[in-house]
Amino acid sequence: MSKITSKLSAAEKKILRQIYWRSFTLFSAVTPAKQGASGFEYSMLPVINHFYKNDDDKKAAMVRHMSYFNSNLAMSPFIMGVAASMEKQNAKSKDFNVESINAIKTSLMGPLSGIGDSLFWGVLRVIAAGIAVSLAQSGNWLAPIIFLLLFNVPVQLVRWYGGQLGYTLGSTYIEDLYKKDLINIMTKAASIVGLMMVGAMTSSMVKFSLKWNMVVNGKSILNAQSMLNQIFIGLLPLGITLLCFYLLKNKNISINWLILGTIVVAVGLALVGIV
């Protein structure tokens, strides 16, 4: 790791330290529509203020990083490091594909969430808790301290070095991609991965099941939800999600109105027994 970071300037090392400390605020202001976007944007401010000299460029970068972001906390600094390296390249190159920044962010969120959640929440936390519980049962007062150290020290090491690794590797490979004229292919591939992740999130997070059935002479002859599942499983959640995207993008409906409207419609349909 020291060989990688040795190539960084003093200013870049300072920026990465600022990103590390600011990244603790990632989920301090979570919203349903943006999740940790405000924390991500706050963490990226040192990068934006350092590399961009024009106020309009700074504003554009701030807006860019207010897009939806949700990933494992330990793995997030790596994504921030990659995004920081791309912002640096964007500030240097006039022909930089700005859309690639959010495309890469989105494509990394899902895989790194899976790795981070499995490794830190599923494995490390259980091991640390098992050791701490054994100590607690024997009356050792150091048990909670041991648990916190066993869990947090590896997490903080990954967070600290992950940001540096993401920044240095991002700078190296992005420059190579531009030299080889492969940046558009990378952006397209990242966008596809990102869309797959959003589709998976829609399937797992958006729930809508019909309770209405066709009844004749007191006997149910048609189960509406079962019939829809035979056509396309998750058809209604997908349709609702696409409708919300359409209203948000094409009709400029506020996110707050969409959330309120969804709640009102859901309560109304539940009251009449449709869902």
89 and 24 together in one domain: yes
15 and 34 together in one domain: yes
Residue 217: C-alpha distances to residues 132, 220, 221 (Å) = 62, 8, 10
Of 158 and 95, the one with more pLDDT? 158
> Where does a domain end: 165, 199, 233?
199
The pLDDT score that the predictor gives to residue 116 is 83
Average pLDDT, the chain: 82
> Where does a domain end: 199, 229, 250?
199
- Strand-pair category, 213-216 with 219-223: antiparallel
52 and 107 together in one domain: yes
234 and 152 together in one domain: no
The pLDDT score that the predictor gives to residue 17 is 93
Domain that holds residue 257: 207-271
Locus of tokens 């150091």: 142
pLDDT tens string 156-205: 999 999 899 889 877 666 666 656 666 666 667 666 766 776 677 777 77
> Where does a domain end: 159, 174, 199?
199
Look at the chain and report how many structural domains it folds into.
2
pLDDT tens string 143-167: 899 999 999 999 999 999 989 988 9
Of 70 and 122, the one with more pLDDT? 70
Q: Write down the pTM of the prediction.
A: 0.71
Q: Which two three-digit tokens encode residue 31?
A: 């919203």
Alpha-carbon gap, residue 275 to 225, rounded angstroms: 10
Q: Which two three-digit tokens encode residue 117?
A: 């959640």
